[in-house]
A and B are shown apart, each in its own frame.
Chain A
Amino acid sequence: MRRVVVTGMGVVSALGSTAAEHCAALEAGRSGVGELEMPDVERLSVRIGAQAREFRGEDRFSRSELALLDRATQMALAAADEAVAQSGVSFAGEAGLRAATVIGTALTGMGTIDEAYRAVFQEGKNRVHPFVVPRLMVSGPTSNISMRHGLRGPAWSVSTACSSSNHAIGQAFHMVRAGMADIAVTGGAEAPLVFGVMKAWEGLRVMARDACRPFSRNRTGMVQGEGAAIFVLEPLEAAQARGAPILAEIAGFGMSADAGDIVQPSAEGAARAMRAALEDAGIAPEEIGYVNAHGTGTAANDRTECEALRAAFGAHAERLMVSSTKSMHGHCLGGAGAVELAAVIHALREGVIPPTINFEEPDPECALDVVPNEARRAELRAAMSNSFAFGGLNAVLVARRFEG
C-alpha cells in the first residue's frame, strides 16, 4: 500500500483566515471565543461563540458567486484555495480525473436556511432567493471545491455529526493509500453560528456561558465555533517526484460505532476507534506523543474520553500529552476534526504542542496531562486526533512526522 502525505493545508477559523494564523494563535494559547454577533442575539441565553470574524465572503467572492455559496462553502473554498496553492499541484487534464474530493459537514447551509425561514415565516414574504436550494445543500462544499479546481474523480460529502471531518479525511486517506484515487482534496467545514442553530443547542443545555474549559473540574459545557480546514493528500512518491512540500504523513484511520445512546458517549466505543486507528497505522501506542482530544468541555465527553484514552493506551496514557484546542477555536461540529488536524500537523512539524486553555482546576476524572494553558515544546514522532459524535459515531486519525 502507498504511503500518504499531506502536501497542502488551508484553514479558516475564529483564530485566523489562513493555516499560519490559525496555528500561530494555537501556539500562543489565544482564544477565538467572544460575544456573538447575529440578528436576535438578545433572544439567546448563550451568547458566546468562536466566530471567524475576519472572514468576510464579500472580500473574496463576487455578488453573483455569493448568491450560490453558504458561509460554510465560502470558508471551505478559501481553505481549499490555500491548500491547493501550497501543494502546488495542478489538476489540469488527466490529473483531474484521478482526483477525489471528500468533505465532511454535519449540517446543511444553516445560514441559508435561517435567512430563508426568516423571510417566509417572520417577515411574511412569499418568495425566497431563487438559489436557496443549491446554496443550502450539505454537499455544497464538495461540489464547489471540485468545480473550482477541476477535481473530476470520486467526490462526495460525509455527514456524521461531529465526526464528519475525520470520517471524510479518513476515507480520502484510504482511497489514496489503496490507489483508488491518485490525489485527494479533503477536510471539513461548518458555519453553524446562526440564530436557529444556537437556539437548538441551547435546548440541549450543554452549552457554557463564559468559556470552554475542557478537562477542568469547573467546566460547564461546550462553546460553538465555525470554520473550515482543507488538506491535499497524495502518495509519498508522487509528492517527492514533483518536489511538493510534505507537511506530515497520514498514517492510520479507525472508526467504530457505540451502538448505545444518541447523546451519551461510550468509552468502549471511543477506545475501539483509537485502537483501530493505531492498528491501521501499524504504530505502537507508545509511539504516540500527543492526542488532540475531542475534548468538548462537557462533563460527559471529557470524563469518558479520558477513560477511553486509558483503555486504549494503558500505562502510556500517563505519558501522553492530551489537549483540546476546542478551548480556542470552539467546537466546529462537522468541521472540528479538520481544524484540529491542522493543529496536529503543526505540532508534528514544529514540535509545539497546543495547550488546553481556560484550565483552572484539575478533575480527578480527567487526570491526564492536558497541557494546561500554555503551549509546550516537545518533539513528536506521531500524534492522534479524536472525533466522537452524537449517535456514537467515532473516527480517529493518526499522523506521523515526515522525515525526508
Chain B
Amino acid sequence: MSDEVMRKIVEIIAAQALISPEEVKPESSPEELGVDSLGLVEAVFAIEEAFDISVPFNANDPTSGEFDISSVEKIAQGVRTLIAQQKG
C-alpha cells in the first residue's frame, strides 16, 4: 500500500511538473520540480481524488499548514497519515 501511495503521488506531481515520473525524487520539493502555486492546488485536488481523503491545505500559506509539502516523501507520509485517520 505504501509503495502504491508513493507511486501515485509521484505520478500526480510528475503530471503537474510536465516531467516523467522517473525524474521525481522523494527528496525533491514540488517547487524544485517546477510545480507553481496553481499546480500545487491541482496536485492536492488530484491526491484527494486518488485516495478519497480530505487534505488540510491552504494556498494562502502552503508551508505553514498541517500538511507538509516540503518534499515528495513528506507529502507521501502525510497522505499515509490521512488515509489512516480518515479511512482506518
Instruction: Give the interface of A toward B (CB within 8 A).
Output: 45, 203-206, 219-221, 262-264, 298-300
Contact = CB atoms under 8 A, between A and B. Distances in A.
A278 B59 CA distance: 33
Interface of B: 37-38, 41, 44-45, 54, 57-61
A219 B45 contact: no
Contacts of B61: 220, 299
Given A206-B59, A206-B60, A263-B38, 5 more contacts: A204-B41, A205-B41, A205-B57, A205-B59, A264-B37
Given A45-B54, A203-B45, A205-B44, A221 B60 contact: yes
A260 to B, nearest CB: 12
A220 B54 contact: no
B67 to A, nearest CB: 11
Contacts, number: 28
A220 B37 contact: no
Contacts of A264: 37
A299 B37 contact: no
Q: Which 7 pairs between the two chains have the least Cβ-Cβ distance?
A: A205-B59, A299-B60, A221-B60, A206-B59, A298-B60, A299-B61, A205-B41
Contacts of B58: 205-206, 220-221
A300 B38 CA distance: 13
A212 to B, nearest CB: 12
Nearest to A298: B60
Contacts of A263: 37-38
Nearest to B55: A205
Nearest to B45: A203
16 contacts: A203-B41, A203-B45, A204-B41, A204-B59, A205-B44, A205-B57, A205-B60, A206-B59, A206-B60, A220-B58, A220-B61, A221-B58, A221-B60, A262-B38, A298-B60, A300-B60
